[in-house]
Amino acid sequence: MIVDAHTHIWKSDPAWPDQTQTTVAAACEVSLELLTDYMDEFGVDRAVLVQPLYPFEENSYVAESAASRPERFASVCVVDPQRNDAAEELERWVREAGCRGLRLRPVAKDEEASFGHVSSFPIWEKAEALSIPINILMHQGHVATLDRVAAEFPHVPVIVDHLGHPPVQQGVGNPAIQEMLALARHPQVHMKISGFYYYSTAGYPYTDCREIVETLFQSFGPDRLIWGSDFPHVLLKTGYKRAVDCLVKILPNISARDHGMIMGENALRLYWPE
C-alpha cells in the first residue's frame, strides 16, 4: 500500500494574481484526473488531497473529488483561523463535505498571527472532537509555538508539512533543528517527508538531507514519518517517479517494514482510520 499524503489539485483561477506563492500558477488547472493518471502509472494506491495556498478557503474541489472516490482519496480542508466561526466552518467541511483533515498555514502572513494564539484554540478543540489530524505548513520560526500548542492538545494528531523547511546546510547540531527534533516528545506529532527541493541545495536525490532524515527517523521512529510527493509542484522539480523512489535513495538501508509504514501505513491510519 502506497499513500501519497501530500498532493494538490485545483480548478483554474485566472483572476488570481501573477505573484503566486507556489510553483504552478493558479491559472493552470490541476485536475483529479491528472493526479490519478500519475498514481496509476507509478503504483500509488491512495492520495490525500490537501487544499493549496489558493484559491483562498474554497475547499469544494478537493472535498468533492475525494467524496467521489472515498476509498482512494481523502481531503484536507483549510479554514481561516481568524474567523469567529472557524470551528463551525471546520465542522461543516468535515461533517457535510467529508473532509478528513485540516491544514493550518502560519507561513502565510494572514494566518501567522493567529497560529498558537488562544483565539485559535476552538479550532483545535473542534479537530479533537472530530478526530481529525491537523497539517501544519510552517517554517523553523514556528517550532516553539507548535511545541506549546501540541502540549495543550495532546490528542490532536499533527503532521508537519515538508519537515518544517529545515536549514539542512547548518547540520543537525544547529539549535533550530534540535528544537524541531524535540517535538518528538509529543507522541501525536508526525513529520512529512516531502518537498526536499524547498530546502536542499544538492539536487535529487537530496543527499544533503540524509543526515536530518536519519536523525528524524531515530527521534520520531518509522511510525511517525509520512511520505508525500507534493504533486503537482514535484513535476517541475524532479518528476513523480523520482518522488516515489526518493525515500529509498535517502535511506538506502531502510527495512521493508519501515518503508511500508512511511510510504503508506501511517497515512492510512490517520486518514482512513476505519
Residue written as cell 541545495?
201
The pTM of the full predicted model, rounded to 2 decimals, is: 0.95
Task: Give yes or no for a contact between 135 and 104, defined as CB atoms under 8 angstroms apart.
Answer: yes
Q: How far is CA 187 from CA 110, 170, 179, 180, 223, in A?
A: 29, 26, 16, 14, 10
Task: Give the model's confidence band at 27: pLDDT under 50 very low, under 70 low, under 90 confident, else very high.
Answer: confident
Dump pLDDT digits (tens) for 93-112: 999 999 999 999 999 888 99
Q: What is the domain extent for residue 26? A: 3-271
For residue 7, what is the domain's CATH number?
3.20.20.140
Task: Give the model's confidence band at 58: pLDDT under 50 very low, under 70 low, under 90 confident, else very high.
Answer: confident
- Grid coordinates representing 274 are 476505519
Task: Give yes or no for a contact between 198 and 165, defined as CB atoms under 8 angstroms apart.
Answer: yes
Q: How many domains does the chain have?
A: 1
Dump pLDDT digits (tens) for 118-155: 999 999 999 999 999 999 999 999 999 999 999 999 99
In the predicted model, what is the mean pLDDT of residues 81-86?
94
Task: Give the model's confidence band at 53: pLDDT under 50 very low, under 70 low, under 90 confident, else very high.
Answer: confident
Dump pLDDT digits (tens) for 181-228: 999 999 999 999 999 999 999 999 999 999 999 999 999 999 999 999
